[in-house]
Structure 1
Amino acid sequence: MERWSGLAVTPVVLTFTYSIWSSTLPASLGSTLVPQCVAYACLAVWSTVNDRRLDRLFIVTRHLGGSLRVGALVGCLTGLVNLWVIVKLTPWLGYRFDFLRDTPHARMPFALMVPWGIALIALFVEVNFRGFILGRLAAMWGDKPYGSVLAVIVSAVAFSRDPFMMTVFRGYHWLALTDGLIWGGLLLRTRSLFSTIAAHAVEVILVYSALWIFYA
């Protein structure tokens, strides 16, 4: 029996609260990381009261190769779609993506970001949003009709409304909603966090590399 699954609700509430009251909060990049830091703190507390922690976070090595392959394929597909949206669709709609050159990620050396930096970011983000938040919500609601679907939706919305995401990527933060829905479904399908880590990393590497090579 899993204990204290409700801890995952705390960073979700903080994320939505920040979205509502962001205009009255300090305008610093560091403050946007508060919900994620709280999520990791909640994860640490949750881990002290539960056994089989890695299993509960979907960090399992069975079918590892298959999970990585499926995740990489999903990442390629979503990466191509998101790249098209960024460089073709939104400019056609009058939205410029030039500001992406000035994000903290873009200012890092390419050799540091690809692949190691991006893979490390994907690891931490997926442990938080899919392994911890989605996993705990699914544990609480999984026995209810459409409980797992609701868990995927709530975690995906929280992912897309993350203050750091919204501040750094501005209007493109909504792409994280579709990513979150796809990766959440992928996690529940494969039962392996490695599939979503691979999907996340491959997608970002593809988009980051294309923008760096052709639009830097």
Structure 2
Amino acid sequence: MAISDKHTEMQNLASMNIDEMNTGEILYLINNEDKTVPHAVEKAIPAVGEFVDKVVESFHKKGKLYYIGAGTSGRLGVLDASEIPPTYSAPNSLVQGIMCGGLAALVTAVEGAEDEYDEGVKIVDERGLTENDCLLGITTSGMASYVHGALKRAKEIGVTTGLLVCNEYEKPDYVDVLIKTIVGPEVITGSTRMKAGTATKLILNMIT
């Protein structure tokens, strides 16, 4: 499937005339679209619960939870992980976010980094993931090669793997749990920092 066929990359019919709307109309449009996100997330709760149970099992084995993603997906993973120590007085290492492109990419977009499959493989080995750990790959389009490289390598060494996407997607054989939230096209075409990002944040809230 081409990326243009993904729901997250399609044009939203409600915003086709956004250039003719006034400020208030645009804001109400964005808010109305955002209202649909919790309903999409609700449909994914069984899969989220399945992954949470695996994370609990991992923690009982002294394992860790890792998030990995590019762009908004990676930033949200790092954000969620950073809140665990102050929220639960947990060690910094318990939940970790891996940002495609490194920490510099948190503030400056690194174009093309999400396409580096081999870098995803490499980071799993560098971080020293083990069979006691869980890794959640986050890619709203489902297309980030960096994330898939990491997940496949992690599965090879026995890590429990999950994949969070916001499109229709078939579960790869190297993914234990697939979490799908179909939020539909964005108000700004392809800007997955919007509804897809909101859905991701809601799901990470539930996981931790």
TM-score, L = length of structure 1:
0.31
- Say which structure, 1 or 2, has more relative contact order (CA 8 Å, 6+ apart): 1
Higher helix share: 1
